[in-house]
Amino acid sequence: MSRFSALVRLSLVLALAIPNALAVLAPSRIYAAAIPHSTRCRPPSWHVIETANFRIHSYGTAPVSRQTAAACERQRDQLRRRWLADADPGAWSPKCQVVIHPTDDSYLRETGHGPRTTVASSLVDRKDGQISLRRIDVRATNSNWLPTAFAHELAHVVLAERFVEGALPRWIDEGIAILADSPQRREGHERALKQAVRRGTQFRLVELLALADYPPPDRWGTFYGQSASLVEYLVAQQGQQRFVEFVELAAAQGCEDALRHVYGVGITGLEQSWRRQVFATSISTATAQSPNRGPASAVSTRAG
């Protein structure tokens, strides 16, 4: 979850936290260099390993494996090829800090107490039109973090490269990131959306496209599911690069103008065609429940 919405708040927290984290790391590096090669009886400590684009901090008896570090680089390459095909392929500066937290307390302390149920969280800071911080925090108590949550967060970081001013609409940012999620996670988001459609509590597109920030927590499941569905639908119409053109235009001129220019349809027309194609089954099975009977669901509790 990119948590662009929480940038200001988290920036303050993390700007303070990073020096502390690095201060903790520095002695461990000295320690790691001084101890014998044998790993027997080695107490756990902080380690750091660097690649061309990442600086990965982890706690344990050894750094993360080279294979894990290489997988981070591969995921970055895949995301950049998919969404930033014409972007400068140069290395990131600053590198993306990846902090793999050994405990839930450590993770929550660094990311704030909002995203209690998330496995990972990303942060991008900007200063004077440049990205000044890229960071992904990972909860290592979920041993499956690399295939299940890292790519989602990395997608936010990669997209920020193109939208340095931070003008990326929230639904697009999350929708694209969810497309990088595992099939299981995507299915969960789809279920949340279909449940909302059955209840009649999905967002009107005019409402979704105008959201300046994340909706209230009780609508996160619907928001994530609907954002992913809409991005997937638009990408299917004319491909990824055309979609990126739409996104850039939407960031500059608003979604209505961008939709008409790129897809030849307004928000109302898009809503009709999208619902018809994607949710025909769910909508036809809707019951007579009140359309505003309450929160869609708590299926997804991701905070970013």
Could you give the CA distance from residue 145 to residue 64 in angstroms, rounded to a whole number?
Answer: 13
Q: Are 124 and 134 within 8 A, CB to CB?
A: yes
Residue 140 vs 160, nearer CB to Zn ion: 160
Taking the complex as a whole, how short is the minimal distance between the CB of residue 2 and Zn ion, in angstroms? 5
- Provide DSSP, 11-50: HHHHHHHHHHHHHHHHHHHHHHHHS-S--TTPPPEEEEEE
Q: 40-79 mask for Zn ion (x: CB under 5 A)?
A: ----------------------------------------
Taking the complex as a whole, how short is the minimal distance between the CB of residue 260 and Zn ion, in angstroms? 28
Q: Does 1 bind Zn ion (CB under 5 A)?
A: yes
Stretch that binds Zn ion, among 16-24, 76-84, 105-113, 177-185 (CB under 5 A): 177-185
Residue 270 vs 303, nearer CB to Zn ion: 303
Which residue is associated with the tokens 């989602």? 152
Q: 125-164 mask for Zn ion (x: CB under 5 A)?
A: ----------------------------------------
Residue 174 vs 271, nearer CB to Zn ion: 174
Q: Are 1 and 153 within 8 A, CB to CB?
A: yes
Three-state secondary-structure class, residue 121: strand
Taking the complex as a whole, how short is the minimal distance between the CB of residue 118 and Zn ion, in angstroms? 9
The residue from 21, 158, 177, 230 that contacts Zn ion (CB under 5 A) is 177
Residue 1 vs 258, nearer CB to Zn ion: 1
> Contacts from 246-251 at CB under 8 Å and sequence distance 24+?
247/168, 247/169, 247/172, 248/162, 250/169, 250/172, 251/163, 251/165, 251/167, 251/168, 251/169
Residue partners of 304: CB distance under 8 A and separation at least 6: 1, 2, 3, 5, 6, 114, 115, 118, 121, 122, 214
Stretch that binds Zn ion, among 96-104, 174-182, 183-191, 246-254 (CB under 5 A): 174-182
Could you give the CA distance from residue 137 to residue 17 in angstroms, rounded to a whole number?
Answer: 12
Residue 47 vs 152, nearer CB to Zn ion: 152
Three-state secondary-structure class, residue 72: helix
Taking the complex as a whole, how short is the minimal distance between the CB of residue 156 and Zn ion, in angstroms? 6
Residue 48 vs 119, nearer CB to Zn ion: 119
Tokens of 266: 């307004």
Could you give the CA distance from residue 19 to residue 12 in angstroms, rounded to a whole number?
Answer: 12
Taking the complex as a whole, how short is the minimal distance between the CB of residue 53 and Zn ion, in angstroms? 20
Stretch that binds Zn ion, among 79-87, 176-184, 190-198, 237-245 (CB under 5 A): 176-184
Which residues of the chain form contacts with Zn ion (CB under 5 A)? 1, 174, 177, 304
